[in-house]
A and B are shown apart, each in its own frame.
Chain A
Amino acid sequence: MSPVTQDPSQTQQAREAGARAERVLLIPAFNEETHLSEVLCQVAETGLGLGVVVVDDGSRDRTALLARQGGARVIQHPFNMGYGAALQTGYKYAHRSGATLVVQMDADGQHDPREIPMLTKPIEEGTADLVVGSRFLGDESYRMGFARGLGRKLLQAVARSFGLSITDPTSGFQAMNRAVLTLFARDSFPTDYPDLDVLLAARRCGIRIEERQVSMSPSPRPSSIHRGLGPTYYLYKMILSIWAGTVGYSDDPVGHQSVYGKEVHR
């Protein structure tokens, strides 16, 4: 039994929309003109037949133009709202398009689209609802600083205490089915960086989460997730949102209610 009730009017809407891609590849992008074309080329080379959607989060460069040239459907935010908001716009789009499977990857070229089938396989087989591509699973070749490594270990321990074993919760390389899509289209989804808090909240809703090992080239930019916020604030925010999320989620009626109450940050 799926814990997330599907809205019948929306599935109807999707059916009326006619021939639409059931499998969507979502690429949120903010000022990514240097990498986006190459990423879209790599995606095309895989020949996976995914409908590619680039969500341009208010870029001031040629991101949207290059995305269109690369053959992607482009959704443009009127202004910059954050990585999470861009992802969610994509989720909403995919949901309304009637997508049954969504893959998300970053536009900066750190994910290898040839690894997409690995992520989608458990979902197609119905053994998982959400598959997270992890750079840490098995392989330890990816390096990160001491402070981040420590923070990661701490949060992993928190996750384990809630019965979720996840090595790379901030991974932007994920695949999900429609139940997850419905959940992530809710108001509770964070606008900045979805992280362990989102995964834990999803798990409490009965979403089956799995991890698969993927290779990731180090991000060409300094840690995009922790940019601007100190690790201390990051930890504080995670603990707060994990607490709020795990307390609030279960009583939440499907629809417009917020998981963490009203969105407090950003």
Chain B
Amino acid sequence: MTSSDLAEMRELFLNTPIPLSTRIMALWVSLLLLGMVLWLVKRRLLREQYTPIWILAASGLFLLNVWPRTLFAMTRAIGAWTHGSTLFYLGLLFLVAICLSYAVRLSSLTLQVKNLAQEVSLLRERIESGGAGLNESTIQKPAM
């Protein structure tokens, strides 16, 4: 198979229209995601500050569905053969980015929890000891 055959074959893939059923399903998925996010916010299960990224993802999917030409152009640009692979690629990028951002958030939460727990321990000690300072004379008397 020559390279011109390959290019021709790629053109064939690139010009394949997206089936109507796929577009309808994508439409449903984007609307479902949007509805899910709004519902979670309404139920106070999701804080507003975490919603933009999901709203953007749902809108992105919706817009790609409305203007599939954007997707076609992207497929050409990244050198993929099928529009499906472009979607997978974008999806993976999105997941990696969101995981990384959660790891960052988790790290700062870990630090906050540690500092809080230390603070609680120190305050508890202060209450239990009646605020008495650590002093050298009261210590060093083993009870055994």
Given A41-B142, A44-B141, do A73 and B125 touch, yes or no (CB 8 Å)?
A: yes
Smallest CB–CB gap between A264 and chain B, Å?
Answer: 5
Interface of B is mostly: helix
Of the listed stretches B69-77, B87-95, B105-113, name the one at the interface; the rest are far from the partner chain.
B105-113
| A52 B117 Cβ-Cβ under 8 A | no
State whether the Cβ of B2 lies closer than 8 Å to any Cβ in chain A.
Answer: no
| B118 A85 Cβ-Cβ under 8 A | yes
Given A37-B144, A70-B142, A73-B139, do A92 and B133 touch, yes or no (CB 8 Å)?
A: no
| B143 A77 Cβ-Cβ under 8 A | no
Bound CA–CA A41/B143 (angstroms): 10
| B114 A191 Cβ-Cβ under 8 A | yes
| B139 A71 Cβ-Cβ under 8 A | yes
| A41 B134 Cβ-Cβ under 8 A | no
Bound CA–CA A18/B135 (angstroms): 10
Smallest CB–CB gap between A86 and chain B, Å?
Answer: 9
Which of under 10, 10 to 19, 20 to 34, or 35 or more describes the interface residues of A? 35 or more
- Measured between beta carbons, the chain A residues less than 8 angstroms from B135 are 19-21, 51
Which of under 10, 10 to 19, 20 to 34, or 35 or more describes the interface residues of B? 20 to 34
| B122 A44 Cβ-Cβ under 8 A | no
Minimum CB distance partner of B140 in chain A: A44
0/1 interface trace, chain A 228-266, chain B, CB 8 Å (1 if under): 000000000000000000000000000000100011101
Given A21-B136, A37-B144, do A262 and B108 touch, yes or no (CB 8 Å)?
A: yes
Other than the given A51-B136, A187-B111, 6 more pairs (CB < 8 A) read A20-B134, A41-B142, A69-B142, A73-B129, A88-B118, A97-B133
Counting from the closest, the 6 A-B pairs by CB-CB distance are: A20-B133, A51-B134, A262-B107, A69-B143, A89-B118, A21-B134
